[in-house]
Structure formats: structure tokens, C-alpha cells
């Protein structure tokens, strides 16, 4: 079905789906937080939030090294240098 759509229609559908995913993630996050607070308690949830924040910062600090490794590994394998 997507092959029949022109690129403008595909762009609109893609944008709508991206916004729908953003809204869904926000709603799930808003519902998930009170549930986790009830299940874990305040101190355990605080520790959970701290660990999640540290992991998020470390993910940001990756600086694209993971993608670079994949790119150059594929490039060197294609050139038979590995």
C-alpha cells in the first residue's frame, strides 16, 4: 500500500505517526510514574530514577561512537581490510 503513495503522502503519514508515538510515550510515562511509586515506595523509586538518569546521561555521552563503529566496520569489511 505504501508503494502506491507518493512521497508527500508518505511524509505526512510519517509525521503523524511520529507525533502519535510522542503522545503515546507521554501518556504512558504519566501513568507509569504513579504506578511505580505505589509499587516501589518513595526511596526505591528515587533510587530507580537516579539510576535511570545516569543511564540516560551516559547514553547521550555516547556521542555517536556506536554508529561510527558500525559504519567503519562495515566499510573496512567491504574493502577487505579486516
Distance CA 80, CA 42 (A): 55
pTM of the model: 0.55
Kindly report the length of the chain.
82
Reduce the DSSP state of residue 45 to 3 states and report it: helix
Distance CA 30, CA 48 (A): 16
Digit-coded pLDDT (tens) for 2-35: 556 777 888 999 999 999 999 999 999 999 999 9
Digit-coded pLDDT (tens) for 44-62: 999 999 999 999 998 888 8
DSSP character for 54?
H
Q: What is the pLDDT of residue 1?
A: 53
Amino acid at each position: 500500500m505504501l508503494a502506491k503513495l507518493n512521497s508527500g503522502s508518505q511524509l505526512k503519514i510519517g509525521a503523524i505517526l511520529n507525533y502519535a508515538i510522542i503522545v503515546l510515550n507521554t501518556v504512558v510515562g504519566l501513568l507509569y510514574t504513579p504506578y511505580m511509586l505505589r509499587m516501589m515506595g518513595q526511596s526505591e523509586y528515587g533510587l530507580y530514577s537516579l539510576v535511570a538518569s545516569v543511564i540516560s546521561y551516559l547514553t547521550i555521552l555516547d556521542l555517536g561512537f556506536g554508529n561510527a563503529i558500525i559504519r567503519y566496520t562495515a566499510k573496512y569489511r567491504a574493502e577487505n581490510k579486516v
